[in-house]
Amino acid sequence: MKPTAQLYPSFEAVLSAQQRFFERIIARYFKGEQQKDVFQDFCVHLHTLYLQKFTSSSHLFDSKAWLRTVLVNFCISQLRKEKAQKNSVWNQTTVVVNLVAESDTINESELQALYEAALGCVSKKEALVLKLKFEYKCTAKEIEHKLGIQHVDVLLARIKDKIRKKMGRINLEF
């Protein structure tokens, strides 16, 4: 028996009935213009699911719980893709930084780029320690007092080792 319009809801009907529901969930994960893009991508994804599951599981499209699960999983997948792209960009810039670092002379802008890359490959707390030490010229005692960290010199040595391991043969002479 072929599906008819009376037995199964059309895709447009499902989409128009649930649009605000979809937009609210997307707003939890994305901001601004990105929400519209994700909504459009989700509509395409939902349409492919609708075509694939229409005959076998059409009742799923009446279930808000199932639609919510599909949307949340889609949003999480989109966030993972964005993170992977950011990591890909990070890896590409790291290669450039490594090439710059291996040259004999480093000018001020290249040194600043290396420093920013080094801050990017450590945690926020470790980056803050580095900034306090090298940008603001705080002593170990001052850092210990401001951040409540003991053994600041040991922490700095560990951060430097971490940067060297992640960025290759770079010596920023901290």
CA 108 vs CA 73, 86, 113, 115, 144: distances in Å? 45, 26, 9, 10, 30
How far apart are the C-alpha atoms of 56 and 59, rounded to whole Å?
A: 9
Quote the pLDDT of residue 118.
Answer: 81
pLDDT band at 170 (very low <50, low <70, confident <90, very high): low
Ramachandran angles phi, psi of 11, nearest 5°? -60, -40
pLDDT tens digit string along 92-141? Answer: 555 545 544 455 566 777 777 777 888 888 888 888 998 898 888 899 89
Quote the pLDDT of residue 1.
Answer: 40
Quote the pLDDT of residue 58.
Answer: 63
* Contact status, residue 167 vs residue 98, Cβ threshold 8 Å: yes
Q: Stretch 71-75: mean pLDDT, rounded?
A: 90
* Contact status, residue 117 vs residue 94, Cβ threshold 8 Å: yes
* Contact status, residue 155 vs residue 146, Cβ threshold 8 Å: no
Closest CA to 122 of 149, 83, 97, 158: 158
Q: Stretch 39-50: mean pLDDT, rounded?
A: 86
Ramachandran angles phi, psi of 168, nearest 5°? 90, -150
Residue tagged 């700095």 (tokens): 156
Percent over 70 (pLDDT), the chain: 74
Quote the pLDDT of residue 70.
Answer: 87
Give 38's Cβ-side CA count (13 Å radius).
25
Ramachandran angles phi, psi of 170, nearest 5°? -120, 130
Which residues contact residue 103 at a Cβ distance below 8 angstroms, ignoring those fewer than 6 apart? none
Q: Stretch 36-52: mean pLDDT, rounded?
A: 86
How far apart are the C-alpha atoms of 74 and 111, rounded to whole Å?
A: 41
- The first and second tokens of residue 161, run together, are 């080792």
More confident residue, 101 or 13: 13
Taking the alpha carbons at both ends of the chain, their separation in whole angstroms is 75
